[in-house]
């Protein structure tokens, strides 16, 4: 039986691959931490109040579509860091009553707890309440996209086992399908045929798929949970991957079995993620059974070569 060693590229990744936030999906978290350190100036509130509701709705649509693509900064919508404390998580959000209400709703939904990126999105003070009420149903999508971007950009690194890399590639396909939907929504917006009410209706089914994909990503990698600094640890650090490769496959298999009552889109998503993540594991199994070779550079297979 022959055993191949770990590829040298694992130890020779350039340092800038980890330090540049836009390459690892940390840019949204960094912007959220920066936003939380700033106080809301009265002038910004007054300026937003002076904008007519029609213009506010158009600005909100532009901000939402930008956040749906993973861009953090908007005119009326901004990411906010959710600090974590021991035990039950606590959120302190600067801003007016509307923004604090968004933070309270985020705590009720579970953002800022284990399994989230440590940030939430909120509408800036001064926006019409009836517009903010429609937007609140769409803000979780922004959080899911930010988490999935973080997972894809970080876990596709060669520092992580092949099962994680394959799951990252399948998750990237989910994001690309969503980006196609956003492009179609942007086309409607440019033609003046998109409103907040129609955007809520169009996003209802995709939001369930994104929520499920974000749940899988958060469970598979504590990078997506975020630390106190919102960075979630350094990729490749000791103990960064809480789940083993077999644990990820078991988790996906259990989720797929328990999703019999879910929508067809959610069941199909879990099936695709499970098939993609299991492919490299079964390649190792095939080589070991058929050729007697154990090619397991990351030590994720159930069999260990004897020395």
Residue 297: both structure tokens together? 């550079």
Is residue 63's pLDDT more than 80? yes
Residue 76: both structure tokens together? 């009326």
Dump the DSSP string for 203-229. HHHHHHHHHHHHHHHHHH-GGGG--TT
Q: Is 95 helix (H, G, I), strand (E, B) or coil?
A: coil
User: What are the tens digits of pLDDT across the range 191-214?
Assistant: 999 999 999 999 999 999 999 999
DSSP at 73: -
Res 102: pLDDT: 45
User: What are the tens digits of pLDDT across the range 18-58?
Assistant: 566 555 555 555 555 555 544 444 444 435 457 889 999 99
Res 27: pLDDT: 56
Res 248: pLDDT: 93
Res 40: pLDDT: 47
Share of the chain above pLDDT 70, in %: 65
User: What are the tens digits of pLDDT across the range 254-289?
Assistant: 999 998 777 899 999 999 999 999 999 999 999 988
CA-to-CA separations, 155 to 21, 149, 167, 236, in angstroms, rounded: 14, 10, 8, 9
Residue whose pair of structure tokens reads 């209802």 in the numeric block: 204
Cα gap 6→236, rounded to integer Å: 14
The mean predicted confidence, pLDDT, of the chain is 76
User: What are the tens digits of pLDDT across the range 145-162?
Assistant: 999 998 998 888 888 899
Is residue 97's pLDDT more than 90? no
Mean local confidence (pLDDT), 62-74? 88
Residue whose pair of structure tokens reads 């309270």 in the numeric block: 104
Residue whose pair of structure tokens reads 């009326």 in the numeric block: 76
* Torsion angle defined by CA atoms of residues 144, 22, 220 and 178, in that order, rounded to the nearest 10 degrees: 40
Between vectors from CA 37 to CA 155 and to CA 95, what angle results, nearest 5°?
A: 110
User: What are the tens digits of pLDDT across the range 126-149?
Assistant: 899 999 999 999 999 999 999 999
Res 238: pLDDT: 40
Q: Indicate the domain borders of the chain.
A: 2-294
Q: Of 98-102, 143-147, 223-227, which range is least confident?
A: 98-102
Q: Residue 169: left (phi > 0), alpha (psi -120 to 50), or beta?
A: alpha
Q: How much is the pTM?
A: 0.74
Cα gap 135→235, rounded to integer Å: 34
Q: Is 58 helix (H, G, I), strand (E, B) or coil?
A: helix
Res 216: pLDDT: 95
Mean local confidence (pLDDT), 96-120? 48
Q: Which of 209, 196, 30 shows the shortest CA–CA distance to 129?
A: 196
Res 307: pLDDT: 66
Res 159: pLDDT: 84
Share of the chain above pLDDT 90, in %: 42
Is residue 172's pLDDT more than 90? yes
């Amino acid at each position: 039986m022959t055993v191949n060693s770990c590829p040298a590229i694992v130890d020779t990744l350039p340092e800038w691959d980890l330090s540049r936030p836009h390459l690892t999906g940390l840019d949204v978290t960094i912007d959220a931490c920066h936003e939380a350190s700033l106080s809301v100036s009265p002038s910004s509130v007054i300026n937003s109040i002076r904008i007519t509701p029609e213009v506010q709705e158009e600005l909100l649509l532009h901000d939402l579509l930008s956040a749906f693509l993973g861009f953090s900064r908007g005119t009326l919508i901004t990411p906010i860091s959710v600090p974590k404390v021991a035990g039950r998580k606590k959120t302190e959000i600067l801003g007016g009553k509307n923004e604090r209400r968004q933070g309270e709703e985020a705590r009720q939904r579970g953002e800022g707890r284990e399994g989230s990126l440590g940030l939430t999105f909120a509408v800036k003070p001064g926006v019409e309440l009836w517009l903010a009420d429609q937007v609140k149903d769409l803000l979780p999508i922004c959080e899911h996209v930010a988490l999935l971007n973080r997972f894809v950009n970080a876990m596709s690194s060669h520092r992580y086992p092949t099962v994680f890399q394959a799951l990252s590639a399948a998750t990237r396909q989910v994001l690309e399908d969503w980006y196609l939907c956003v492009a179609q929504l942007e086309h409607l917006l440019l033609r003046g045929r998109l409103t907040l009410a129609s955007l809520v209706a169009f996003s209802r089914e995709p939001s369930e798929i994104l929520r499920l994909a974000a749940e899988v990503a958060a469970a598979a990698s504590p990078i997506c949970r975020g630390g106190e600094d919102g960075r979630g640890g350094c990729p490749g650090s000791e103990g960064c991957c809480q789940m083993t490769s077999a644990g990820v496959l078991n988790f996906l298999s259990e989720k797929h079995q328990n999703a019999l009552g879910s929508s067809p889109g959610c069941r199909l998503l879990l099936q695709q993620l499970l098939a993609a993540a299991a492919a490299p594991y079964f390649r190792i199994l095939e080589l070991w059974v058929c050729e007697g070779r154990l090619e397991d550079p990351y030590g994720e297979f159930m069999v260990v070569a004897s020395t």
